[in-house]
Amino acid sequence: MTSKVTYLGDLRTKSIHVQSGSEIISDAPLDNNGKGEAFSPTDTVANALASCMMTIMGIKARDLNVDFIGSTADVTKIMNAEPRRIGAIEIAFEMKSDADEKNRIILERAAMTCPVFLSLSSEIEKVITFNWK
């Protein structure tokens, strides 16, 4: 088992990662009858994409002996109304690294192979930008 999700009422859930005991709270968003006091389930999907891409880049960067600690990703999730689903995820990476052009290309291509990216429907538009400092 990966996780256990408990409904807490008032459109809130608590998820426990079985292996680590780490906890995530989710709320329905304001535009869907919720309080918006935590990540919504669809927020976590969009966030998971950026986190997964960074993790895959981290694995490749370690192999290349490239440091990008302190890099960030700004994530924007865009919902479609009918049917209500994620229509697009926009991620703008701010890469803090002195990687050369070759390694930048390798890292960007590696990011596009992350399991979340490959698992998301092709109907979800993915707009990914890399800004290297």
Q: What is the pLDDT of residues 90-107, one digit of tens each?
A: 999 999 999 999 999 999
Each residue of 32-46: pLDDT tens digit?
A: 999 999 999 999 999
Confidence (pLDDT) at 99: 96
Mean of pLDDT values over 22-38: 94
Q: Which domain holds residue 101?
A: 40-132
Task: Note whether 129 and 93 are within 8 A (CB).
Answer: yes
Residues 109 and 48 in one domain: yes
Q: Are residues 29 and 94 in the same domain?
A: no
Alpha helices in 25-131 (DSSP H): 41-64, 101-111, 115-119
Strand order in the sheet with 3-9: 3-9, 12-17, 23-27
Q: In which band, very low, low, confident or very high, does the pLDDT at 133 lie, cut at 50, 70 and 90?
A: confident
Q: How far is CA 12 from the centre of its chain?
A: 20
Indicate which CATH number applies to the domain containing 122.
3.30.300.20
Question: Does 61 share its domain with 107?
Answer: yes
Is 19 in the same domain as 77? no
Answer yes or no: do 26 and 53 share one domain. no
Residues 52 and 107 in one domain: yes
Written as six digits, the tokens of 129 are 């930008």
Strands 85-95 and 125-132: parallel
Number of domains in the chain: 2
